[in-house]
Structure 1
Amino acid sequence: MKFFHLVFALCLLRSVSTSHLKYHAIFNFGDSLSDTGNFLVSGALAFPVIGKLPYGETFFRHATGRCSDGRLVIDFMAEAFRLPYLPPYLALKEGQNFKHGVNFAVAGATALRSVIFYKQKIGSRLWTNDSLSVQIDWFKKLKSSICSTRKDCETYFKKSLFFVGEIGGNDYNYRAFVGESINQLRASVPLVVKAITNATRLLIEEGAVELVVPGNFPIGCSAVYLTLFQSLNEMDYDRNGCLKAPNAFARYHNTMLKAELHKLRQKYPHANIIYADYYGAAMRFYHAPGHYGQLIATLNSTSLIKSLFFTHAEA
């Protein structure tokens, strides 16, 4: 699975590196795709196995709280810019040097505030209440420890890279798990997209100028959606065996997200807001799995796709 993350990082690096900047720090927000330990530190009550092998076994040789057997996309990005791996915010200790960045992502996190799910009687499904807005608040609290004056912050953040996600996938997953249809999920897209773009706006107003905002994955290729929305009609599947309707839904989310990011670029022309096409990158694996080695060639097996979905993509 570490190869999956490496290929994603290489695809993403092409977009990010076009700025030709030497980043001095990375600040990351999101869910299990990029959580380097916050969920585990918080207790990991919903998924305690994350603290045991085989998690971490192929690189760190022990469980680190990453939902992977090795490194994540954010780890490869840090390596690419010759920066240390990002420490999880909840594990920071007094006096610890975190000038090279911090990871605020939490496995299972949602873009929307957790209170929304509790009001809709599906809060019991949540892995964590540390939504994107909570993560942004953590950053604001930590900011005074990073830079003391407005000028210092301006100089520091000009050389920092901010990742806002991937986030939002769990907002849809939790609803799908309780039986909502694809059409019902569509109703929540504007709210989810607004939460993501609002977080991006807040970071820009706090001083961020280089931001990466990833889109959603082709969820119609994941085992959980292939199970939840399985069909006897062959026309509901594409040539790769992925469900057309969930993938169309993911594209709908991404289209709306890109439209809102375009508005942000117009409002904040000084900021470089990069949309990361996770959908397109992932579809390469499903269209031509043989091009990415033996491991990727076996991704269509139910067990591996399920593992990928729950421990690498949207959780």
Structure 2
Amino acid sequence: MKTMNILVFSLLCCLSSKSVLSSSDHYNAIFNFGDSYSDTGNFLITGALAYPEIKNLPYGETFFHHATGRCSNGRLIIDFIAEAFGLPYLPPYLAVAEGPPVRMGVNFAVAGATAIDASFFSAQNITLWTNDSLNVQLGWFKSLKSSLCTTKQECDEYFKKSLFLVGEIGENDYSFSFLFGRTIEQLRPLVPQIVGAIIRAVSILIEEGAVNLVVPGQLPTGCFSLYLTLFQSANESAYDPKTGCLKAYNALFKYHNNYLKQELQKLREQYPHARVMYADYYGASISIYRTPKFYGFYGGALRACCGGGGPYNYNNSASCGNPGSTACEDPSAFVDWDGIHLTEAAYHFVSKRLFYGGFTSPPLLS
């Protein structure tokens, strides 16, 4: 069985992200909504006041060799998806909003964005990085739409050949709440509201003409070094013995994912003409936390590549890019980049599993 796993993984590795997929699976454009897991520069253009570190190296060091506004050392899942369909990397909306139409796709994601509107959090005295929530991003899309097509028939034809990604989004709704002292017990009842915001966004996009939509779930955030550092427990039973991740936090994110899947099924019944795909980011990535060295992550999965020391190399007062922090020599050997985001190598691993590993339902490739 182990030999078979090695063979399958070797096959996946040989499938280059640069290879363009068959014409039957081809899209002419990609439109992306989300947060820092897929932002390609919008937050940077706004000034990145809450997280200025992403303006400089080591962010972007591996592939682009300069900071691009991506919260990683290189490419993100959305970049590998664009490569796979032979499309250019998605420009951030704020860089092209006033320019000529960008017909091959646009990225509306903003680092720090929430699924629920920012006003909800300010009413609870929770400070966010940005007010550019999912609702704001939808507004940007509607503003851009008139430059892409005019008549309903033209829009239908154009969007029929476009891929829409709605997320990952929602992680910040939980994380900022945790950082401001909320507990898992307090946030669990919020799951329907967070998922509801995502579902409403998908519905709006379908009404606007979207036909092919990918809606990712949450990653196993209880494995991230920020969580492991800030929410560490003296109770050994708080940790998953197979991964070392925080069980209760991951249980919350799994609950979110299951709730999201249920609501997406209702959407499919409501819009039978649309292809609504669930991308299982959790399932696609959890195996690298169980056996990181098996998949080539010899630096491990729980310790950040870039950070300021401590058991998991995460130090809130010396986070990646700040004085006192250092970056590892080989980010490709690590899963965790800076405590809350993955390395390019880990994002590449997840993206290949979405395409070829059966972690998108229905399959991303028809």
- Structure 1 equivalent of residue 105 of structure 2: 101
1:220–1:247 Cα contact (<8 Å) kept = yes
Residue in structure 1 matched with residue 248 of structure 2 by the alignment: 245
CA contact (8 A) 1:147 1:153 kept: yes
Offset of 1:299 from its aligned partner? 2.2
Distance in 1 between residues matched to 2:297 and 2:258, nearest whole Å: 32
Shift of 1:95: 4.1
Task: Please point out which of 137, 140, 161 is paired with 1:138.
Answer: 140
Q: 1:264 corresponds to which letter in structure 2?
A: L
Matches of 1:24 and 1:100, distance apart in 2: 6
Normalising by the residue count of structure 2, what TM-score does the alignment of the two structures yield?
A: 0.77
Query: 1: distance between equivalents of 2:83 and 2:137?
Result: 23
Aligned with residue 235 of structure 1, among 234, 237, 258:
237
Q: Is the aligned partner of 1:310 residue 2:340?
A: yes
**How far, CA to CA, are the matches of 2:269 and 2:234 in structure 1?**
46
Q: Which amino acid aligns with 1:23?
A: Y
Return 5+ residue gaps in structure 1 as ranges.
1-6
Give the Cα–Cα distance (whole angstroms) in 1 for the partners of residues 65 and 249 of structure 2. 36
CA deviation digits over 1:190-245, x for unaligned, max 9? 11000000000000000000000000111221122223332222222112111111
Provide the residue aligned with 1:183 in structure 2. Answer: 185
* Equivalent runs, 1:196-207 vs 2, <5 Å: 196-207=198-209
Q: Write out the 4+ residue segments of structure 1 that deviate beyond 3 Å after TM superposition.
A: 17-20, 93-97, 304-309
In 1, Cα distance between equivalents of 2:341 and 2:55: 12
| Inter-CA distance 294–216: structure 2 relative to 1 (3 Å threshold) | closer
For 1:193, the aligned partner's letter is V
Is the alpha carbon distance of 1:237 and 1:18 closer, same or farther for their aligned partners in structure 2, counting shifts above 3 Å?
A: farther
Cα 1:111/1:119, change in 2 over 3 Å: same
- Tell me the amino acid that sits aligned with residue 138 of structure 1: W
How far is 1:80 from its partner? 0.3
In 1: Cα distance, 2:206 partner to 2:34 partner: 17
Match of 1:4 in 2: none
Matched with 2:260 is 257
**Partner of 1:85: helix, strand, or coil?**
coil
- Which residues in structure 2 correspond to 1:146-165 (within 5 Å)? 146-165=148-167
1:35 maps to amino acid: D
* Contact 1:223/1:305 (8 A) holds in 2: no
- Judged with a 3 Å threshold, the aligned counterparts in structure 2 of structure 1 residues 277 and 18 are, in CA distance, closer, same or farther, namely farther
Residue 94 of structure 2 corresponds to residue 90 of structure 1: yes
Question: With CA pairs under 8 Å and 6+ residues apart, which has the higher RCO, 1 or 2?
Answer: 1
- Go from structure 1 to structure 2 and tell me whether the alpha carbon gap of 1:252 and 1:18 turns closer, same or farther (over 3 Å shift): farther
Whole-Å separation in 1 of the counterparts to 2:341 and 2:44: 13
Q: Could you say if the C-alpha distance between residues 205 and 160 of structure 1 is closer, same or farther in structure 2, counting changes exceeding 3 Å? A: same
**DSSP 3-state at the match of 1:310:** coil
Superposition TM-score, scaled by structure 1 size: 0.89
Distance 1:94 1:225, change over 3 A: closer
The CA distance in 2 between the partners of 1:140 and 1:54, in whole Å, is: 35
